[in-house]
Structure 1
Amino acid sequence: MPSEVLVAIIAFAGTAVGSVGGVLASSRLVNFRLDKIEDKLDKHNHFGDRLTRVETILDIKEEN
């Protein structure tokens, strides 16, 4: 096998491994960020429930 072909195969393998590694790292980071955004959204969505409970507690205290 000529040395040029061997060098080309090694370069291709390095490029492929680097590209796949970059895609996987980027995917992991995007998933991590989406999880954090979902957590914040869940906290925001439960704000109405918490506010209703506080208003109920305050109404009970005002009646006494």
Structure 2
Amino acid sequence: MEVIVAGMSLIGTLVGTFTGVTVSANLTNYRIEQLEKKVAEHNKVVERTYKLEGQMLEVQHDIRDMKNL
């Protein structure tokens, strides 16, 4: 009888531990995916800003050239 109780306790502990680890891993993976999406959006903004800065330099040069005419 005691062996059966000990076996059931062992099974319960293993199932609980496995479930906890699985849920924790799934949550971690979800959070990493969300962070990756945010980083991708940030990188798009940085790329667009870099392009706009280059275009602004060209516009400033054009304006400077027009003023010198």
TM-score, normalization by structure 2: 0.71
Percent sequence identity over aligned pairs: 33
**Structure 1 residue 48, shift from structure 2 partner:** 2.2
**Structure 1 residue 37, shift from structure 2 partner:** 0.5
1:25 equivalent to 2:26? Answer no
> Where in structure 2 are there 5+ consecutive unaligned residues?
64-69
TM-score, normalization by structure 1: 0.76
Whichever of the two has the greater Rg, that structure is 2
> Where in structure 1 are there 5+ consecutive unaligned residues?
none
**Structure 1 residue 20, shift from structure 2 partner:** 0.1
- 1:6-51 CA distance string (max 9 Å, x none): 0000010000000000000000000000000011011111112222
1:11 paired residue number: 9
Which stretches of structure 1, 4 residues or more, deviate above 4 A after TM superposition? none
> For this pair of structures, how many residues does the alignment match?
58
